[in-house]
């Protein structure tokens, strides 16, 4: 049966382990309390510990008994501590695990959980890793559940530093292949959502989609960006605490900390209305309104910057923030050349606001998929 050993550092050179229960009765028990140590005189002598008798308290908690310190024994007094064969075997087996942990990992800062598996399991794993044919058969029989279960196990690992340390043993080319497969899976999944739900007219749906996949919006930028907040307040409340302005997303440059405002509409939002005059089309009220909306958010953010910065847990700057509106879908609009010209003239002449359609955004994701497939 697998066992977990918890090690918690007590200093740079020592760490304590969980009590090893050797003998337990209804209200009393005998435990050994192990401790890992860096021994400068003998590196192999890395484990020490103490035998402790415990009693169960009124609250059913085990408490150490300290009624007879050995240092106070008189010359004619002595104590005999006998371990039965099973108890001694358990102690030696458990301490052997501690020696192995120290030999391989030393003293690790903080608390670390080590899963101790049987030798049979370790041999099976090693055999699978060395024999690709057997491993392929296992994956074929187990299907996606084998791989997905392994990935879930890796993602739920408590000690990420330990996992990173083990991944260093993997060849760089193998890690690149794994990263490519994972990236392709994420890209393909978001493209499937786009293809299946592009007709949905709910702004809330698309805002939630981008919130859960914030990396998609990060593809809009040529410089490193991180999300600050979703549904972020940028100011505008009156004395009656009404009328606050909420922008869909705020990102910031990871290096300069300058902000970017992003407003999300829907793919079904119209981009143009009817013809204005010969060969000229007006933009839709939804598009012009979205542009004015995000410019208002920008204005409020700049006016309220100092107050917002003082009340925020993250640092950010507002050096003429860039504004992006994601709206509409070119493939469903099916513009004529004249309509396309009116739309492009309008959005390309905007200095402070960038207009991007949903299909243009997801086309960038499709390009990334093709790029990964070539590697």
CA distance 133 to 140: 11
Mean pLDDT of 98-109: 89
Q: Give the SS3 label for residue 239.
A: coil
**pLDDT tens, 207-242?**
988 888 887 887 777 667 777 777 777 776 654 445
What are the sequence ranges of the domains in the chain?
3-116, 120-188, 199-374
Q: Which of 322, 325, 319 is nearest to 347 (CA)?
A: 325
The answer to whether residues 73 and 54 touch, using CB atoms and an 8 Å cutoff, is no
The count of residues in the chain is 375
Confidence of residue 10 (pLDDT cuts 50, 70, 90): very high
Lowest mean pLDDT among 5-9, 62-66, 270-274: 62-66
CA distance 152 to 167: 16
Predicted pLDDT at 330: 94
**pLDDT tens, 107-137?**
988 888 887 766 555 555 555 556 656 556 6
Lowest mean pLDDT among 3-7, 259-263, 357-361: 3-7
Confidence of residue 159 (pLDDT cuts 50, 70, 90): low
DSSP 107: P
The answer to whether residues 115 and 2 touch, using CB atoms and an 8 Å cutoff, is yes
Rounded to 5 degrees, φ, ψ at 8 are: -125, 125
With 50 as the cut, is the pLDDT of residue 72 above it?
A: yes
**pLDDT tens, 323-342?**
999 999 999 999 999 999 99
Q: Give the SS3 label for residue 13.
A: coil
3-state helix, strand, coil in the chain (%, to 5): 45, 25, 30
Choose between 158 and 319: higher pLDDT.
319
């Amino acid at each position: 049966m697998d066992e977990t050993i918890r090690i918690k550092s007590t200093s740079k050179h020592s760490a304590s382990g969980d009590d090893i229960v050797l003998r337990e009765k209804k209200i009393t028990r005998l435990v050994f309390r192990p401790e890992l140590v860096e021994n400068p005189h003998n590196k192999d002598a890395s484990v020490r510990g103490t035998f402790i008798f415990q009693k169960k308290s009124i609250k059913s908690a085990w408490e150490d008994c300290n009624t007879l310190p050995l240092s106070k024994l008189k010359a004619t007094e002595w104590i005999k501590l006998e371990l039965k064969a099973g108890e001694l075997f358990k102690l030696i087996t458990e301490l052997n695990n501690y020696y192995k942990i120290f030999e391989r990992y030393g003293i690790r800062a903080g608390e670390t959980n080590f899963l101790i598996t049987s030798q049979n399991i370790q041999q099976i794993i090693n055999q699978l890793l060395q024999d690709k044919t057997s491993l392929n058969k296992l994956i074929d029989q187990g299907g996606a559940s084998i791989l997905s279960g392994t990935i879930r196990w890796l993602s739920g690992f408590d000690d990420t530093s330990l996992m990173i340390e083990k991944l260093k043993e993997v060849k760089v080319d193998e890690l690149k292949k794994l990263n490519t497969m994972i990236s392709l899976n994420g890209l393909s999944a978001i493209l499937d959502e786009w293809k299946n739900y592009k007709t949905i007219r709910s702004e809330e749906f698309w805002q939630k989609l981008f919130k859960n996949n914030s990396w998609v919006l990060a593809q809009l930028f040529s410089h490193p960006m991180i999300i600050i907040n979703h549904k972020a307040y940028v100011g505008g409340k009156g004395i009656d605490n009404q009328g606050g302005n909420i922008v869909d997303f705020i990102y910031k440059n990871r290096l300069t900390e300058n902000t970017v405002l992003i407003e999300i509409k829907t793919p079904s939002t119209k981009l143009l209305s009817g013809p204005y005059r010969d060969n000229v089309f007006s933009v839709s009220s939804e598009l012009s309104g979205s542009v004015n909306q995000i410019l208002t958010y920008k204005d409020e953010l700049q006016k309220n910057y100092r107050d917002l910065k003082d009340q925020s847990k993250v640092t950010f700057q507002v050096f003429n923030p860039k504004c992006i509106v994601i709206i509409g879908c070119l493939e469903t609009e099916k513009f004529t050349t004249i309509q396309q010209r009116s739309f492009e003239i309008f959005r390309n002449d905007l200095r402070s606001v960038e207009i991007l359609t949903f299909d243009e955004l997801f086309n960038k994701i499709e390009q990334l998929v093709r790029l990964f497939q070539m590697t």
